[in-house]
Amino acid sequence: MFSGIIERLVIVEKLERTSRGVRFAIAYKNEVAPVQEGESIAINGVCLTAAAMEEGRFWVEAVKETLEATTLSSVKTHDRVNLERSLKVGDKISGHFVLGHVDGVAVIQKVNRNAETHDLTLKVPEICEPFMVAKGSIAVDGISLTIQAVQGKTCSVAVIPHTAAMTTLGFRKEGDRVNLETDVLAKYVQLRSNPEQPFPFTVDSLRELGF
């Protein structure tokens, strides 16, 4: 699990195509808390596994299904990507709960960038539409953001200067594709609001459980 707070931008140093998909060598060095083999790491919001370690970098692999469902298929050598390591018990969650399971790919329709604002308008894939709500949370390329407004098949988000400087959103332009993960809480609420699958709790039953 992640929080959508990007640790840093990192460089894709190497790329190898395999029969399963693509292996990426990610430049990363942290002497205090080095990446461990088998560790879950989000790259542009996609949860991957550190499969091999080398001096100053580690390797992750994206299988064909992941490449088809995300923007990782267009990542090239020397590209900068967002990196977030998984949460540990007791970590502060400054964003929202992010699983690293991308729901769909959005297209940036408009970038409004000046000295004071950096707003993005995204064309949202149909599968994500039911979970889009103004003031709700969304992960864009793994970055926890708040939805400003929803209009038809588009939504808008505001990017603060710090986030723009520390993530890929600082250099994204109109027409670029980004990974979207909608709020997991919204998914469960939508599931349980289905009359055929009623929510199993009532106010009285929650009181009995101590809430």
User: Hey, what domains does the chain have and what are their CATH numbers?
Assistant: 8-85 (2.40.30.20), 104-192 (2.40.30.20)
pLDDT interval class at 184 (50, 70, 90): confident
**Which DSSP letter does residue 90 get?**
T
CB 1 within 8 A of CB 86: yes
For residue range 32-70, list pLDDT tens digits in order. 899 999 999 999 999 999 999 999 999 999 999 999 999
Averaged confidence pLDDT in the chain:
91
pLDDT interval class at 186 (50, 70, 90): confident
The tokens of 29 are what? 């060095």
For residue range 87-143, list pLDDT tens digits in order. 988 888 899 999 999 999 999 999 998 877 899 999 999 999 989 999 999 999 999
What pLDDT score was predicted for residue 127?
A: 92
Burial (CB count within 10 angstroms: exposed 0-12, middle 13-18, buried 19+), residue 150:
middle
Is the confidence at residue 191, as pLDDT, over 80?
no
What pLDDT score was predicted for residue 92?
A: 84
